């Protein structure tokens, strides 16, 4: 049985029976329902945005870890890209040049087929830009590594058939300079120490005491030995294959014209003859009659790190001796 309910009426000062009509019941039900619905929506919103389930916490943690790994991967790929570019430059300007083969064009080394379909499954992923950048960067890196690997295979095959050429091509520094402290100035535009005007320096200067040994940098024949204007006492070695090396400002000679020399032979001693402002060796490398940068011809002497240090030292404008 339903209980009878009353309410107090102050006008009549008596309790009156409450009549529950269908309309009143509907209004009461609607009020309760809407109130419950409102608070349910509020609770759902709060729970969905501020309260995480154990599974959601695990997924969020895994997601953050994955994001961090992507960022680290991008940093690693950037560093690998830098190292690979250095290898490509050395391959083109040194190894392939020595073997007389054409350098690999940049567009061949870095070309990656730009297929939208390859990356379409990434477009709806969270942090799409980061994921796309990583994926495309990795594809580019793989392409460059493949091309560089094939290039080294080609160089190895060429060395097997050109062993004599490799013995003759200049490949060491002309003075002992393992710690690079004797590196003075390099190839390129420099300030003349006497006339104080800019000129093209066709070789590389090594500061060293008078009497320091000077070595042949490759097998060859002494084609010139004597005094040369501006160079003082000078030796020129003809290595064949279009290569010649020049050693200037010498103190005295240790060979005769026409002599056959091998790489590492002592051919002379450092001096201060000719147009020179201090004891040093001026060294040049010529290919087919044109002076070229000697720094690319120390590959038997220097590690990549030492090579980079030498490049920095050779850019010094303040230590030109001739």
Encoded tokens for 292? 């070229």
Give the three-state DSSP class for 124. coil
Tens of pLDDT along 104-122? 777 777 665 555 555 555 5
- Between 140 and 185, name the one with better pLDDT: 140
Residues 155 and 255: their CA atoms lie apart, in Å, by 34
H or E element at residue 264: none
- Between 11 and 223, name the one with better pLDDT: 223
- Residue of 161, 252, 156 whose CA lies nearest to 212: 252
Longest dimension (CA), the chain: 143
- Please say whether the beta carbons of 278 and 321 come within 8 A: yes
Q: What is the mean pLDDT of the chain?
A: 77
Q: Which letter does DSSP use for residue 104 in this model? A: P
pLDDT the model gives residue 278: 85
Encoded tokens for 38? 């409102």
Cα angle for residues 207, 303, 222 (degrees, 5° grid): 55
Question: In terms of C-beta density within 10 A (0-12 exposed, 13-18 middle, 19 or more buried), how is residue 38 classed?
Answer: exposed
Count of alpha carbons within 13 angstroms of residue 79, beta-carbon side? 6
pLDDT the model gives residue 318: 46
Q: At residue 239, what are phi and psi to the nearest 5 degrees? A: -90, -5
What single string gives the DSSP state of each residue in 31-93?
HHHHHHHHHHHHHHHHHHHH---HHHHHHHHHHHHHHHHHHHHHHHHHHHHHHHHHHHHHIII
Q: Which letter does DSSP use for residue 144 in this model? A: H
What single string gives the DSSP state of each residue in 155-187?
HHHHHHH-HHHHHHS--S-SS--TTSTTEEE-S
Ranges 45-49, 118-122, 183-187, 310-314: which has the least confidence: 118-122
Indicate whether 49 pLDDT > 70. no
Q: Would you tell me how many other CB atoms lie within 10 Å of the CB of residue 167?
A: 15
Mean pLDDT across 243-265: 95
Q: Which letter does DSSP use for residue 218 in this model? A: S
pLDDT the model gives residue 32: 79
Pairing outcome for strands 232-240 and 266-270: unpaired
Q: Would you tell me how many other CB atoms lie within 10 Å of the CB of residue 149?
A: 10
pLDDT the model gives residue 317: 45
Encoded tokens for 145? 């590594």
Indicate whether 177 pLDDT > 60. yes
Tens of pLDDT along 80-107? 777 777 777 777 766 676 666 777 777 7
Q: Which letter does DSSP use for residue 125 in this model? A: S
């Amino acid at each position: 049985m339903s209980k009878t309910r009353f309410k107090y009426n102050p006008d009549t000062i008596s309790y009156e029976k409450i009549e529950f009509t269908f309309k009143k019941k509907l209004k009461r039900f609607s009020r309760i329902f809407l109130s419950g619905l409102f608070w349910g929506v509020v609770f759902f919103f709060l729970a969905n945005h501020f309260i995480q389930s154990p599974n959601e916490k695990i997924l969020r943690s895994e997601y953050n870890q994955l994001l961090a790994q992507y960022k680290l991967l991008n940093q690693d790929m950037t560093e690998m890209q830098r190292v690979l570019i250095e290898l490509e430059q050395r391959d083109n300007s040194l190894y392939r040049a020595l073997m007389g083969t054409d350098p690999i064009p940049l567009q061949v080394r870095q070309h990656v087929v730009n297929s939208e379909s390859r990356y379409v499954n990434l477009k709806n992923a969270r942090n799409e830009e980061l994921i796309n950048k990583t994926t495309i960067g990795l594809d580019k890196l793989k392409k460059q590594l493949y091309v560089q690997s094939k290039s080294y295979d080609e160089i190895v095959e060429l060395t097997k058939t050109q062993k004599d050429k490799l013995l003759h091509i200049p490949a060491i520094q002309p003075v002992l300079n393992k710690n690079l402290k004797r590196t003075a100035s390099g190839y390129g535009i420099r300030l003349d120490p006497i006339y104080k005007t800019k000129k093209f320096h066709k070789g590389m200067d090594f500061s060293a005491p008078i009497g320091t040994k000077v070595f042949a940098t490759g097998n060859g024949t002494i084609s010139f030995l004597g005094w040369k204007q501006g160079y003082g006492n000078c030796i020129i070695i003809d290595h064949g294959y279009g290569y010649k090396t020049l050693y200037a400002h010498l103190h005295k000679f240790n060979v005769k014209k026409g002599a056959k020399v091998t790489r590492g032979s002592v051919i002379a001693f450092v001096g201060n003859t000719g147009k020179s402002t201090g004891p040093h060796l001026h060294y040049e490398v010529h290919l087919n009659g044109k002076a070229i940068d000697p720094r690319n011809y120390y590959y038997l002497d220097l590690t990549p790190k030492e090579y980079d240090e030498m490049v920095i030292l050779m850019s010094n404008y303040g230590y030109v001796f001739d």
